[in-house]
A and B are shown apart, each in its own frame.
Chain A
Amino acid sequence: MNQLVLLACAVCGAGEDRASGALLVMTIIISLLPLGMMGGLIGYFVYQSRKGDQAAEDAK
Chain B
Amino acid sequence: MEAVVTNPVPERRKPVVPSAVLGTLIFVIAEVMFFAGLISAHTISRAGSLPGLWPMPGQPTLPAEATALNTVLLLLSGAVLFFGYRLWKKQSPVAHWVTLAAWGLGAAFVALQGVEWVALLSQGLTLRSSPLGSFFYLIVGGHAVHALAALVAMFWAWMQMARGQLTSGFFFGVQTFWYFVVLMWPVIYARVYF
Q: Which residues of A contact B (CB under 8 A)?
A: 7-8, 10-14, 16, 18-19, 21-23, 25-26, 29-30, 33-34, 37-38, 41, 44-45, 48-49, 52
Contact = CB atoms under 8 A, between A and B. Distances in A.
A10 B47 CA distance: 9
Contacts of B49: 10-13
29 contacts: A7-B50, A7-B57, A8-B56, A8-B131, A10-B131, A11-B49, A12-B49, A13-B49, A13-B50, A13-B51, A16-B47, A19-B48, A22-B43, A22-B47, A22-B48, A25-B43, A26-B40, A26-B43, A26-B44, A29-B40, A30-B36, A33-B32, A33-B36, A37-B29, A37-B32, A38-B29, A41-B25, A48-B16, A52-B14
Contacts of B56: 7-8
Given A23-B47, A30-B36, A41-B25, 16 more contacts: A8-B56, A10-B49, A13-B47, A14-B48, A19-B48, A22-B43, A23-B44, A26-B43, A29-B40, A30-B37, A30-B40, A37-B29, A37-B32, A41-B26, A48-B16, A52-B16
A52 B14 CA distance: 8
Given A30-B37, A52-B14, A7 B47 contact: no
Contacts of B46: 10, 22
Contact of A16 (B26, B43, B48, B131): B48
Contacts of B50: 7, 12-13
A22 to B, nearest CB: 3
Interface of B: 14, 16-17, 25-26, 29, 32-33, 36-37, 40, 43-51, 53, 56-57, 130-131
Contacts of B37: 30
A55 B178 CA distance: 30
A12 B45 CA distance: 9
Contacts of B16: 45, 48-49, 52
Contacts of B43: 22, 25-26
Contacts of A38: 29
B41 to A, nearest CB: 8
